[in-house]
């Protein structure tokens, strides 16, 4: 009796999930973030015992990235890295990047093996978000208390000695707070103070705009393509604290120019004006993949329910979809066409 109810519940879940996924942009938005966070949390549980063999070693992040970057194809985001030769340099430097979403970390997982020895400045509150916080600490992340500027600055200055000694890169989001406003906001001075005092180069890293696929206000996340560009290092040798405002302005202006150019390139390359693309021949849909996952015993009993009814409800006729990646590269074909920011999203 209980097994029958369990089978019925499983069948209902299998039927309803793709229906919600296909018809509700809000459901897709939350579903993808849940998948992303679930992958990170699961890997944290698995890797913590491994990290204990070399605690607080930044090389643990390279191992973690190999597992966590598996979330990108699941939620249909592709990261295109440019300037990898700058990231791969075997030297200490301060890397500054624009901050749009927690998805920035997912992008970093995709190219952490290129950076190799790299750590991140993170807010202190993240340490208490276990198991991720514990795994991050064991991976050598530097936690700072942003409510106390002097303490935060001291922690960052002390970290510079480790950076120089071990040829480690320090990743900082100088905007402080993440914002999906399709622009790069003013920078805080902390990262630049560290670079100038330690005479380390600044390496700007620019993520193209997420507005081509993400809208946090309307809870929309479509498949996305992001260009990540590492610009040539900006040397700080000979600079003093008096030069920091000019250094910040120079760095930010270079990043804004690249941000606009790469965002425009993504828009033009994928024709992000609301025009959908038809599915490639031979590609599978969400429904066919879910149906294939149903055990044969259950499928035979409920064939009349799963096959004609679900298909007629969700796919009554061929329709346009909006997948950036296209073909077999995208694991899930979505029904929502891409739109520019000035066109209302679904």
Question: Exposed (0-12), middle (13-18) or buried (19+): which is 246, by Cβ within 10 Å?
Answer: exposed
Whether 194 and 157 have beta carbons less than 8 Å apart is answered as yes
Is the pLDDT assigned to residue 331 strictly greater than 60? no
Interatomic CA distance for residues 195 and 204, integer angstroms: 12
Please report the pLDDT score of residue 276 as a whole number.
31
Domain limits of the chain? 1-273
Residue, of 325 and 179, whose pLDDT is higher: 179
Per CATH, the number for 1-273 is: 3.40.1130
> 51-81 b/e with 16+ CB inside 10 Å = b?
beeeeebbbbbbbbbebbbebbeebbbbbbb
> 298-326 b/e with 16+ CB inside 10 Å = b?
ebeebeeebeeebeeebeeeeeebbbbbe
1: confidence class by pLDDT, cuts 50, 70, 90: low
> Which residue, among 63, 65, 20, 21, has the nearest Cα to 39 in the 3D structure?
65
Interatomic CA distance for residues 286 and 223, integer angstroms: 14
Whether 323 and 330 have beta carbons less than 8 Å apart is answered as yes
Residue-wise pLDDT for 91-139, tens only, equals: 999 999 999 999 999 999 999 999 999 998 888 888 888 888 899 899 8
Is the pLDDT assigned to residue 320 strictly greater than 80? no
Residue-wise pLDDT for 135-178, tens only, equals: 989 988 888 877 777 777 777 777 777 788 888 999 999 998 88
List the Cα angle 80/60/223 in 5-degree steps: 30
List the Cα angle 298/302/303 in 5-degree steps: 105
Residue-wise pLDDT for 48-59, tens only, equals: 999 999 888 888
Is the pLDDT assigned to residue 326 strictly greater than 60? no
Please report the pLDDT score of residue 29 as a whole number.
94
How far CA 161 is from CA of 118, 170, 194, 239, 265, in Å, comes to 14, 11, 10, 18, 39
Range name among 3-17, 188-202, 220-234, 317-331 with the lowest pLDDT average:
317-331
> Which residue, among 69, 78, 57, 73, has the nearest Cα to 108 in the 3D structure?
69
Sort strands 224-230 and 77-82 into parallel, antiparallel or unpaired. parallel
> Which residue, among 177, 188, 204, 186, has the nearest Cα to 152 in the 3D structure?
188
Half-sphere exposure of 244 (CA within 13 A, CB side): 16
Please report the pLDDT score of residue 133 as a whole number.
87
State the pTM of this model: 0.75
Mean pLDDT of 54-67: 90
| First-to-last C-alpha distance (Å) of the chain | 43
């Amino acid at each position: 009796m209980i097994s029958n109810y369990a089978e019925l519940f499983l069948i209902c879940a299998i039927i309803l999930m793709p229906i919600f996924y296909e018809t509700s942009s809000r459901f897709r938005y939350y579903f993808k973030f849940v998948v992303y966070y679930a992958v990170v949390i699961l890997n944290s549980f698995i890797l913590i015992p491994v990290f204990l063999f070399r605690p607080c070693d930044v090389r643990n992040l390279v191992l973690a990235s190999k597992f966590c970057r598996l979330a990108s194809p699941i939620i249909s985001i592709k990261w295109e890295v440019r300037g990898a030769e700058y990231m791969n340099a075997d030297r200490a430097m301060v890397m500054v990047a624009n901050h749009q979403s927690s998805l920035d970390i997912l992008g970093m997982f995709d190219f952490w093996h290129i950076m190799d020895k790299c750590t991140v400045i993170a807010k202190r509150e993240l340490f208490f978000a276990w198991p991720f916080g514990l795994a991050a600490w064991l991976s050598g992340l530097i936690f700072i208390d942003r409510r106390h500027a002097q303490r935060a600055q001291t922690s960052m200055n002390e970290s510079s000695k480790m950076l120089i000694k071990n040829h480690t890169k320090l990743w900082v989001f100088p905007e402080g707070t993440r914002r999906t406003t399709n622009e790069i906001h003013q920078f805080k001075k902390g990262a630049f103070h560290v670079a100038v005092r330690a005479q380390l180069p600044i390496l700007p890293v620019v993520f193209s705009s997420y507005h081509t696929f993400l809208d946090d206000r309307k809870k929309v996340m479509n498949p996305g393509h992001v260009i990540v560009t590492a610009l040539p290092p900006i040397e700080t040798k000979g600079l003093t604290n008096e030069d920091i405002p000019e250094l910040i302005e120079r760095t930010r202006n270079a990043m804004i120019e690249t941000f606009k150019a790469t965002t425009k390139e993504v828009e033009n390359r994928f024709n992000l004006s609301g025009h959908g693309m038809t599915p490639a021949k031979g590609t599978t849909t969400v429904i066919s993949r879910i149906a294939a996952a149903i055990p044969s015993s259950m499928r035979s009993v409920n064939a009349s329910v799963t096959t004609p009814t679900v298909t007629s409800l969700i796919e009554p006729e061929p329709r346009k979809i909006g997948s950036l990646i296209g073909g077999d590269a995208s694991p899930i074909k979505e029904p929502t066409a891409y739109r520019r920011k000035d066109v209302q999203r679904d």
